[in-house]
A = this chain, B = another copy of it.
Amino acid sequence: MKAEIITIGDEILIGQIVDTNSAFIAKALNKIGVSVYQITSVQDDKVHILNAFENAERNVDIVIITGGLGPTKDDITKTTLAHYFEDTLVYDDAVLANIKYLWKNFVKQPLLQVNIDQSLVLSKATALMNKSGSAPGMWIEKNNTVFISLPGVPYEMKGLMNEEVLPRISEKFDCPFILHKTLLTYGLGESVIAERIKDWEAALPSSIKLAYLPNLGRVRLRLSSTGFDEAVISAAVEAQVTALLPLINDIFVGFEEQSSIEQIIGNQLVKLGKTLAIAESCTGGKIAENITAYPGASTYFKGGMVAYSTASKINILKVDEDLIEKHSVVSSEVAEAMAENVKRVFDSDYGIATTGNAGPSKGDSDEAVGTVVIAIATPKGVYSQKFNFGTQRLRVVQKAVTMAFTLFQKEIFKKC
């Protein structure tokens, strides 16, 4: 079962927005056994959109189209679909009732003709109810291909995917089971890993595909397999993982699909009944933000401070001014004091602290741009490590965040 995702909108092709919809849709389709053959982003141009529809129809069983369903003149997906299917647009009563309900209770602005016209759908289509907005989705079958049109606004698209599209696809098609299992590693480059596991890789059955995904000091190893018997697929992949793990024991940090590293950390803290506080300088709140991205974080996250300036490290985090004077603000001593003090101030079991020069200028320290010190305070003591993450500001910050999570994960998973 193959799908193509077609995203429509000039904003994607001029780089004004990053297309996050496609990744969401692709992941959701994979989970129900549909593999994505291609993702195509095209301009708000009728001829171009028609070409994309034609190409997709030739190659896949399911075409998911996002964007171009708004009420304004630049939105042409619906009329283009009508042209492609040689169909006309008709008002859908249920959709119109939904629009009237939304306008009365939430939008609270006058209902204009263009809003009413949002309830127009192709006569051959099944309208898919959009609970968060005025643009309905549509499900249209042509020969052996299903075309599904969805709004481009991410939360509207997600609601429609989860509530309407995925259940209908699962019902209509007999989909196989697609399994991805991704091992997160830290500390070695992909070529060294490949060399180390080459015998294992050479012996992989052809039904299991291996991919190396390197980025910022981490390499992810993904095993993928597809088949109709979930138990057989799972057992085959698990057997390979079991054979692989001893070979990468020193660099393996966890499985991606099980959860993200922030979730792994959160679950472990809950299990241990321990809490965390964070003092951030160069990472500017990004560690705390990642930690709080998950519901339930308040049970183990006591709080964080962004002590950006040297003065705030002294005044708020109570880092000794002499310590900064003596060792510089980017030093193990200061990082460790920050971690210990934030732990004390928030009365938590663990503290994480970062201090560094993200660049481009050196700030209040003589350390080279890219230098970051990460400290971990534990119930038993405190320690730190110094890194250099290069000269590109956002990359330095991202690497520091990743490394902070990696170090902290190692800490809380230590054998006692």
A residues adjacent to B (C-beta < 8 A): 10-20, 22-30, 35-44, 48, 52, 55, 70-75, 107, 109-110, 112, 114-115, 153-155, 178, 180, 182, 188-192, 194-195, 201, 209-215, 222, 224, 256, 278, 280, 284-289, 291-293, 295-298, 301-309, 311-312, 315-316, 345-347, 359-361, 363, 392-395
B194 touches A114 (CB 8 A): yes
Given contacts A304-B285, A308-B298, contact A190 B72 (CB under 8 A): yes
Inter-chain pairs besides A115-B191, A155-B395, A285-B292, 8 sampled, C-beta below 8 Å = A12-B22, A15-B30, A39-B41, A109-B192, A112-B195, A284-B297, A303-B306, A303-B308
Which A-B residue pairs are the 6 nearest by beta carbons? A15-B27, A284-B292, A15-B26, A285-B285, A285-B288, A304-B306
Given contacts A15-B26, A15-B28, A360-B295, contact A74 B212 (CB under 8 A): yes
| Residues of chain B contacted by A19 (CB below 8 angstroms) | 18-19, 22-23, 39
| Residues of chain B contacted by A182 (CB below 8 angstroms) | 16
- The A contact surface, by secondary structure, is mixed
| Residues of chain B contacted by A284 (CB below 8 angstroms) | 288-289, 291-293, 297
Q: How far is the CA of A74 from the CA of B219 in the complex (A)?
A: 14
| Residues of chain B contacted by A212 (CB below 8 angstroms) | 70, 72, 74-75
Closest residue on chain B to residue A192 by CB atoms: B109
